[in-house]
Chain A
Amino acid sequence: MSFQPVKFYQTGTYTVGNRLLAPDERSVQANQMRGNSINSGHRACQGCGEALGARYAIDAAMVESNGQLIAANATGCLEVFSTPYPESSWQVPWIHSLFGNTAAVATGIAAAMKAKGRHEVRVVAQGGDGGTTDIGFGCLSGMFERNDDVLYICYDNEGYMNTGVQRSSATPPAARTATTMPVGPEPGNVFGQGKNVPEIAMAHGIPYVATATVADLRDLEYKVRKAMRMHGARYIQIFVPCPLGWGTASHDTIRIARLAKESGMFPVFEAEHGEVTSVLKIRNKVAIGEYLKPQKRFAHLFGKHAHPETVARLQAIADRNIRKYGLLEEETD
């Protein structure tokens, strides 16, 4: 367990708050006066996981930095839905970079603040998986390698959603997108390495790397706040389901994220200086099918022309994650 869970048998640490918890045991999101870094009126789809994840993360970062925060933002849904000129939803100093250079822009801001002696001002960079794992990757790797004082947050919705659901190097195998095989014997994204940026970030040996999901708010806030207390290059990848791109019901966003974690498909862990220091254990393990079935992007794997072997290959990926990160609680007997 990566954080101290509240021993509270009614809801534990699973709910956002609880009337019976001491105020310091509640999440940032439970606070009546929370910052709402992204204000209402943004144009994200119904049930957008990215809008939610960004508010969770930036609200926590704002609390930890006492409101002294500047955010750079790559092109992508988050930027487009929050800031259609001349309106903005952001209630933090915020700058739109290009699609591929947000890590570099953030580095520049951090350097400028340092030069001005504004040591209290902290910098985050944020982008989608496309802007992070693909086009922005060079800038990101440089930021890591120089250990620039930036927290980079990647909102991983496993595709280029803003431009119409194209494949990215974070798209999982077999998922259908606008740019993968629509039909044929093996439709959807190919099985391959993809690009596991959390692990690549760890390979840079930076102070802090973590993954999180919108289904585990307490864990997410803990990680953002911890990262904000550290200096140097830090990276957090947040799993944010996309109802439009994944073909899921808008009310299912959190459930899908929960199933990704509970199936082992998305391992939730944290690492310091290249070493895994804790993982969020699976609570009620589910078979991969439970995660895949509610998503239309995997619909071709089920039904009349089902692909059980493909499902089995995806299960194998989940199983490997479980083994590799030790996601299951050890049997005690």
Chain B
Amino acid sequence: MPSKPFAITLKPGTSLANLTGTWRTARPVYLDRLPPCNNACPAGENIQGWLFHAESGDYEQAWRVLVQDNPLPAVMGRVCYHPCEGACNRGQLDSAVGINSVERFLGDEAIKRGWKFEVPAHGSGKKVLVVGAGPSGLSAAYHLACMGHKVEIHEAGPLAGGMMRFGIPKYRLPRDVLDAEVQRILDLGVTLKLNTKVASIDLSMRQGGFDAAFLAVGAHIGKRTTIPAGDASHIVDAVSVLRSMEGEDKPMLGRKVVVYGGGNTAIDVARTVKRMGGEPIIVYRRTRDKAPAHDFEIEEALQEGVMIKWLSTIKQAGAGEITVEKMELDDKGFPQPTGEFETLAADSVVLALGQDVDLSLLDGVPGLEVKDGVVQVAPNMMTGFPGIFAGGDMVPSQRTVTVAVGHGKKAARHIDAWLNGTNYESAAKHELAEFEKLNPWYYSDADKTVRPMLDIIRRQTSFDEVQGGLDETNALFEARRCLSCGNCFECDNCYGVCPDNAVIKLGPGKGFEFNYDYCKGCGICVAECPCGAIKMVAEDI
């Protein structure tokens, strides 16, 4: 008796016996690419990484990932000039993700909920001196403390914060926010000695028995320029004006205040004067587009009624008035005098022409190199003297809070290695997740959430914070606008689009795997991955 029906000689079987993977000439592989935001962040934040948690509403986890790189998110969310957003791929779709506003939301949430850093279980037994409690010093102290080192900060001023407290005005950075983030760092066991100016680093290190030092003294000496001035003229520098705003005796500037300079400091002083009831006028020798201040800051100042005289230099300062000369730009874009003069009423002149570094604490330290008034450091942030590292405004760099924080982190890693007699090797950078690597079809259209601004009258008359924050719903919305560039966000596309079922879904949080037994190497999964987290590599054949 034949066991099979007529004409059937083979047993039926499944096509799984046919390993179509042998057809392949190239294979898809999962990878993490470096999102442009992360790449642009001077503090090296893993932005895509923390947004990922914020997207699911797990704000604490988002905050914890964030503070692995930057201990000051609430400050950052207010004063950082967010180069990340300038680089954000979503900018090429509709508008950049409001990274900075989500960061602020997380920072504020952490303060509200009282989230703390984890104190390391074991100490290293090493002692590090940090000079200066500005952003760079605080960042270094935080990272060093997390690594188990004993950290002591010596700060010349009466309070911690550096330029975050004695430069940036309250209406941009409320002090309770700054205080909360500083305190959280101190809670790690960091010792902060206020009113303790380091006069000689060598002496302070020996006296305290420190194994290494991180210097972050900032740049506090206001640059002067020679303006022919009568005795009755009242000329002061911007940094001291802003600093005295923090003390008991507010600066006496009169009603008509001329601010000389075109940087962010000039803008901050002018806006401060406005809030004190004065009539500020900024005098700057070049044009608005050439001014170093950020355009949004100029715009906010103008909105508040700050006057600005572009293309003007101060020729002379006298009692109650100044003489300015009109300038014009030459073909190279440099301002040239025109010989046309004008007088302006001025009860005082505030010079906002930049700051120099006070390097006297380094007197007598051998091996140091000082160029253009700043201390030169090696790529590991170490000065020419072994064991003394430096960062922030006192080394060659862009002078921002974020760069200062980044320096503090980087220095901490190298100090840690140096203390252990090793070298810190940073992990190789992943390839960049450029916009061309994405498949933007899959993202729905969603415009950026705009942060609320304080009404203009209160901006002109009070030091209340100008820019508001996001609330839970719009912070979540904003986080979910992230395209997750270069990093899988479990959209299931690759799993869905494979004609050969050659993608295995491992389950929530576990990602995906290729089944190379059947993958024919068509590349559809690569083409349809929204965020560029898969690439094709040639097979060796």
Contact = CB atoms under 8 A, between A and B. Distances in A.
A253 B8 CA distance: 37
B493 A15 contact: yes
The B interface, classified by DSSP as helix, strand, loop or mixed, is loop
A188 B517 CA distance: 39
Given A10-B481, A82-B15, A87-B18, A32 B505 contact: yes
A166 B310 CA distance: 73
The A interface, classified by DSSP as helix, strand, loop or mixed, is loop
Nearest to A90: B15
A12 interface: yes
Most chain A beta-carbon neighbours within 10 Å: one of B498, B499, B522: B499
A19 B232 CA distance: 70
B409 interface: no
A15 B492 contact: yes
B443 A30 contact: no
Interface residues of A, number: 49
A252 interface: yes
Contact of A10 (B443, B493, B517): B443
A20 B442 CA distance: 15
A48 B523 CA distance: 11
A241 to B, nearest CB: 11
Given A10-B481, A250-B524, A16 B492 contact: yes
B215 interface: no
Contact of B12 (A11, A32, A87, A243): A87
Given A87-B12, A87-B14, A41 B19 contact: yes
A204 interface: no
A8 B476 CA distance: 11
Interface string B2-15: 00000010111111
A17 B494 CA distance: 10
Interface residues of B, number: 55
A155 to B, nearest CB: 12
B223 to A, nearest CB: 47
Most chain B beta-carbon neighbours within 10 Å: one of A36, A42, A48: A42
B521 A9 contact: no
Contacts of A10: 55, 443-444, 480-484, 489
B491 interface: yes
A38 B14 CA distance: 10
A87 B492 contact: no
B496 interface: yes
A255 to B, nearest CB: 6
Given A11-B491, A15-B442, A251-B526, A86 B499 contact: no
Contacts of B12: 86-88
Contacts of A36: 501
A27 B496 contact: yes
B518 A40 contact: yes
B99 to A, nearest CB: 15
Contacts of A217: 496
A52 interface: yes
Interface of B: 8, 10-20, 23, 55-56, 441-444, 446, 477, 480-484, 489-493, 495-502, 505, 507-509, 515, 517-518, 520-524, 526-528, 530
Q: Which 8 A-B pairs have the closest CB atoms?
A: A16-B496, A17-B492, A251-B523, A12-B444, A41-B15, A47-B522, A9-B446, A19-B490
Given A12-B444, A43-B18, 14 more contacts: A9-B446, A12-B442, A14-B441, A15-B442, A16-B491, A19-B509, A32-B505, A36-B501, A41-B18, A41-B19, A46-B520, A51-B500, A89-B14, A243-B522
Interface of A: 8-20, 26-27, 29-30, 32, 36, 38-44, 46-49, 51-52, 55, 82, 85-89, 217, 243, 249-255, 258
25 contacts: A9-B446, A9-B481, A10-B483, A15-B491, A15-B492, A16-B492, A16-B493, A16-B495, A16-B497, A19-B509, A20-B480, A27-B492, A39-B15, A39-B501, A40-B16, A41-B20, A43-B15, A47-B520, A48-B499, A51-B499, A86-B12, A87-B14, A87-B18, A251-B522, A255-B527
